[in-house]
Amino acid sequence: MAMLLRRVWETMSSRTCSTGDSSARPSCTTESSSLGAFDQIPWDVLIQIVKLIGPKEAAKLCVVSRSWRALVSDNRLWIFFLQHQQEPWDSIFFGETTLGSGYPYQTLVTGLSFMHIYGQRAQVPGSVIIDGEYFEISCQFLFFIAVRWVVQVIASLVGASMIVLLGEQQHFWMQVKPSTQPIVVSIPICHYDDTENAKASRRQLKDCFQQVLFDLNVPAVCAINQATLALYAAKRTSGIVVNIGFQVTSVVPILHGKVMRKVGVEVMGLGALKLTGYLRLLMQQNNINFGSLYTVRTLKEKLCYVAADYKAELSKDTQASLEIAGEGWFTLSKERFQTGEILFQPRMADVRTMGLDQAVALCMDHCHYAELSGDDAWFKTVILTGGSACLPGLAERLEKELRGLLPSSISNGIRVIPPPYGADTAWFGAKLVGNLSTFPGAWCATKKQFRRKSRFNIMWRSSLPYLEDDAH
């Protein structure tokens, strides 16, 4: 160890003793200490040396002496190591300080040992993420060097159909060793009402997932709705999440990680499928031939956008082209912004529903008058999620429309954020949870807890608030 340190020190020998951090340790000292030959080296230089030898060797220094232990436990050192992981540092910090305690959240900033956090994260078993809407199955191992694939099925398939689907993935479970890896299930936003029937339906869907997974012998299951996961990906626990799903768009108010169904989840009967279908109609009307709906969807994703001012955009030259393998070049013009415009003017596509701006404004209005918090700021941040929410210009247009629809008392401070991780935003939220140093911990239900719930449902639910229907 001493030889390794000396070699690293030689690479920094040009540094002088006068550059030390006197606030942390005297930059130079003539007294003997347990740092031995490194006693004369400034504290900040020692930190740089330990950074270079890496986390494993740095951790070993803790057993050398009390002085080395004090140096190596410095939070700055381990923050540096964490910053060089797969996840962005701001996401790691948000997760560990806000989500680390589980639900309900207890924000922890002071007194954290990032050395301990680093060690715990290195031991997290890795989790499997299952997207409940598309049944996307992702295998993630340490720090999420992931192997991912998607099994596409109709979003409404649940119950027995889901059991068959998961049963067919035996090769998947053989690879990931289900008995050792916890599962994070991304539950779709559905059964939007606050009625007892809706609550029962949501519990049934969650129970269905858990039953199937525990039958496959997984150790723990964490079930969180997609809107809350998207909020986590944006490093927030409160806000309004606009999820443009496959068939519908939902506007979900969330306060401290809990869906405010009593305030109201607004739903538009217009989703990604309708956007793709409308672009197909426009292309057919303009005699643009295509081979499949996949081609239309690709053109939507690559060429379409949302205009800041629809009427003004009509007079502009908006022509653009894209080559699709096996089908050649496609050129779109007004179709590029007319497709996304139906989010704000659904009647253009013969859809009888309110526009996206109206749905979000209505949700904000309800949040304002519900007075759930002493500060209205919690619902003034809008997070977009879903593949079609990635259309360029959508966030800016929605923010503009909201400021025009709402009174200044509500509209001041509104901010609309595009999907932080594109179409994979909810997946990244699940990844953030699954990589916490405290995972699975308070986030998951174990097989034993699930079995106990089946027998003593009321008692079990009251003892596990993090798994309540409206939590997450």
Between 464 and 100, the higher pLDDT residue? 100
Q: Are 263 and 367 in contact (CB under 8 A)?
A: yes
Spatial distance between the Cα atoms of 65 and 61, rounded to a whole number of angstroms: 8
Residue 76 is encoded by which pair of tokens?
């700055």
Residue 467 is encoded by which pair of tokens?
């798994």
The alpha carbon of residue 255 and the mean position of all alpha carbons in its chain are separated, in whole angstroms, by 16
Above 80 in pLDDT, residue 286?
yes
pLDDT at 193: 78
How sure is the predictor about 151, in pLDDT bands with cuts at 50, 70 and 90?
Answer: very low
Spatial distance between the Cα atoms of 313 and 334, rounded to a whole number of angstroms: 8
Interval 239-268 mean pLDDT: 93
Tally of helices (H runs) and strands (E runs) in the chain:
21, 14
Interval 450-457 mean pLDDT: 72
pLDDT at 336: 97
pLDDT at 138: 47
Residue type, 284: Q
Spatial distance between the Cα atoms of 192 and 188, rounded to a whole number of angstroms: 11
Q: In what order do the strands lie in the sheet with 147-150?
A: 147-150, 136-139, 128-131, 183-187, 220-225, 445-446
Interval 393-419 mean pLDDT: 95
Spatial distance between the Cα atoms of 325 and 308, rounded to a whole number of angstroms: 31
Q: What percent of the chain has pLDDT over 90?
A: 45
- CA distances in angstroms from 145 to 79, 142, 235, 421, 449, listed in the order given: 20, 7, 21, 16, 30
How sure is the predictor about 126, in pLDDT bands with cuts at 50, 70 and 90?
Answer: confident
Above 50 in pLDDT, residue 233?
yes
Between 10 and 155, the higher pLDDT residue? 10
Lowest mean pLDDT among 89-103, 166-180, 341-355: 166-180
Lowest mean pLDDT among 19-33, 138-152, 329-343: 138-152
Is the preceding peptide bond at 392 cis, omega within 30 degrees of 0?
no
Q: Are 191 and 198 in contact (CB under 8 A)?
A: yes
Tens digit of each residue's pLDDT (9 = 90 or more) over 48-86: 888 888 888 888 888 777 778 888 888 989 999 999 888
Residues 6+ away with beta carbon under 8 Å from 177 = none
Lowest mean pLDDT among 2-6, 74-78, 114-118, 216-220: 2-6
Which residues sit opposite 330 in a β-bridge? 322
Tens digit of each residue's pLDDT (9 = 90 or more) over 188-228: 877 777 788 888 888 888 888 788 788 878 889 988 999 99
Q: What is the mean pLDDT of the chain?
A: 80
pLDDT at 9: 55
pLDDT at 174: 53
Tens digit of each residue's pLDDT (9 = 90 or more) over 81-92: 999 888 899 999
Which residues sit opposite 225 in a β-bridge? 187
Spatial distance between the Cα atoms of 42 and 27, rounded to a whole number of angstroms: 5
Sort 348 into a burial class: Cβ within 10 Å, 0-12 / 13-18 / 19+.
middle
Which residues sit opposite 258 in a β-bridge? 255, 471
Which residues sit opposite 149 in a β-bridge? 137
Is residue 337 left, alpha or beta, with left meaning phi > 0 and alpha meaning psi from -120 to 50?
Answer: alpha
Tens digit of each residue's pLDDT (9 = 90 or more) over 290-306: 989 999 999 999 999 99
Spatial distance between the Cα atoms of 62 and 116, rounded to a whole number of angstroms: 12
- Written as one string, the DSSP assignment of 140-176 is --GGG--EEEE----TT--THHHHHHHHTTHHHHHHH
Q: Which single residue is written with the structure tokens 């990589």?
A: 435
Range of 49-58, 145-154, 355-364 with top mean pLDDT: 355-364
pLDDT at 171: 53
pLDDT at 86: 81
pLDDT at 196: 83
- CA distances in angstroms from 124 to 141, 180, 433, 439, listed in the order given: 9, 11, 11, 7
Which residue, among 366, 356, 135, has the nearest Cα to 249 in the 3D structure?
356
Q: In b/e form, how buried is each residue of 320-339, taking b as 16+ CB within 10 angstroms? A: eeeebeeeeebebebbbbbb
pLDDT at 295: 95
How sure is the predictor about 181, in pLDDT bands with cuts at 50, 70 and 90?
Answer: confident
Residue 417 is encoded by which pair of tokens?
């954020």
Q: Are 244 and 384 in contact (CB under 8 A)?
A: yes
The alpha carbon of residue 183 and the mean position of all alpha carbons in its chain are separated, in whole angstroms, by 15
Q: Quote the pTM value.
A: 0.81
How sure is the predictor about 7, in pLDDT bands with cuts at 50, 70 and 90?
Answer: low
Q: Are 352 and 346 in contact (CB under 8 A)?
A: yes
What value does the CA radius of gyration of the chain take, rounded to a whole number of Å?
A: 26
Q: Within 10 Å of residue 126's Cβ, how many Cβ atoms?
A: 20
Above 50 in pLDDT, residue 23?
no
Q: In b/e form, how buried is each residue of 139-167, taking b as 16+ CB within 10 angstroms? A: bbeeebeeeeeeeeeebeebeeebeeebe
Q: Are 129 and 431 in contact (CB under 8 A)?
A: yes
How sure is the predictor about 162, in pLDDT bands with cuts at 50, 70 and 90?
Answer: very low
Lowest mean pLDDT among 115-124, 201-210, 246-255, 310-319: 201-210
Interval 263-270 mean pLDDT: 91
pLDDT at 451: 82
Between 55 and 30, the higher pLDDT residue? 55
Which residue, among 379, 360, 411, has the nearest Cα to 238 in the 3D structure?
379
